[in-house]
Structure 1
């Protein structure tokens, strides 16, 4: 974030704090997700794709019906952790002068002198967000497992 926020203006490129935050997180998430997907892809049994080709499936069908479902299934836990980490790491954008949720909570706590209440509210909001994300990914994982005939 610092390289984008402070480095690009040196080159004459000026971006808003929000744009820098989105760009920085997108690059970070893209790199991690590529690593998760690559690991899941490398763990695949190569004989399954060869068998699919022998059965007459083209490359697109092999990717959509054989490779992609298995890669998604095996990478769901890592991707869920990444989404939760992004939620937690979003507070770092305060350092590039973009005021996000937790920064607003700190402002409210400082003006009202009710730090415990403000931070408790923030904790509850984060807990609800993480619980929703975990529930959604468990639902997705169970649905994929059921669709492809595997046990929970």
Structure 2
């Protein structure tokens, strides 16, 4: 047992540069998806509260689709299915597109819940002052929605990080893919996956600490 652990440690040290490279790719994907998902959620929410009934129905269908279909299925359809029609995209591009569309749907749902709790009199007062629908959304609705939905959006960032491990199944060499390679070298799958769990736990802990700082800042601004 001790000798196996020693062998694993030696292999781990040898593979650290590749694992660190995979970690950077994991963080890159998480950051890009989080930013695009937040921007997408903001845009989708604006369309979901539109006065146009057709727009609202289309957005609701979009949200239902991406929340209802497993992310891994969407990844496989785009990465393995589109080449059948001559469309070939890199693993990173596929991951960004699929994750961003998925995360945008979830973020829009969180923000819509916050929107429903807003004081409608405040929105009507803004319209009475001459604000158009976009100005009301930008200056009145959106700041309050973002503040109220901060905890849910923070949890989504954690989900983005954890779900990024799916990307290795389409050939994206993230940190989990590198640790998988390590496990394949010495067949010590328990130690390798335990190490992967620790890596993700540390990253999640950092996100949680950062999220608490952001939430406190929003609360102070609200007061």
Q: TM-score if structure 1 supplies the norm length?
A: 0.83
- Residues 132 and 39 (structure 1 numbering): CA distance in 2 closer, same or farther, change over 3 Å? same
CA RMSD, Structure 1 to Structure 2 (Å)? 2.1
User: How many residue pairs were aligned?
Assistant: 148
Partner of 2:165 in structure 1? 91
> Which residue of structure 2 aligns with residue 5 of structure 1?
79
TM superposition shift of 1:50: 2.1
Cα offset, 1:46, TM superposition: 0.6
Partner residue in 2 for 1:111: 185
Structure 1 residues 27-82: Cα deviation after superposition (integer angstroms, max 9, x where no partner): 1111111221222212212112223445x473466434432222012211211221
Shift in Å, 1:116: 4.4
Counterpart mapping for 1:35-54 below 5 A = 35-54=109-128
Q: Which runs of 5+ in 1 are unaligned?
A: none
Instruction: Report the Cα distance in structure 2 between the residues aligned to 1:30 and 1:96, rounded to whole angstroms.
Output: 21
- For residue 209 of structure 2, the aligned residue among 124, 135, 140 is 135
Q: Matched residue of 1:15: which SS?
A: coil
Partner of residue 58 from structure 1, selected from 120, 131, 147: 131
Structure 2's unaligned 5+ residue stretches are 1-74
Give how far 1:117 is off: 4.0
Distance 1:19 1:49, change over 3 A: same
Q: 2:106 aligns to what? A: 32
Deviation at 1:25, TM superposition (A): 0.7
Query: Match for 1:101 among 175, 189, 195?
Result: 175
Report the more deviating stretch, 25-34 or 58-67.
Answer: 58-67
TM-score normalised by L of structure 2: 0.59
Partner of 2:155: 81
Q: Which has the higher contact order (CA 8 A, sep 6+)?
A: 2
Take 2:171 and 2:136, find their aligned partners in 1: how far apart are those partners? 47
Alignment partner, residue 17 of structure 1: 91
SS in 2 for 1:98: coil
Which stretch of structure 1 is more off in the superposition, 61-70 or 103-112? 61-70
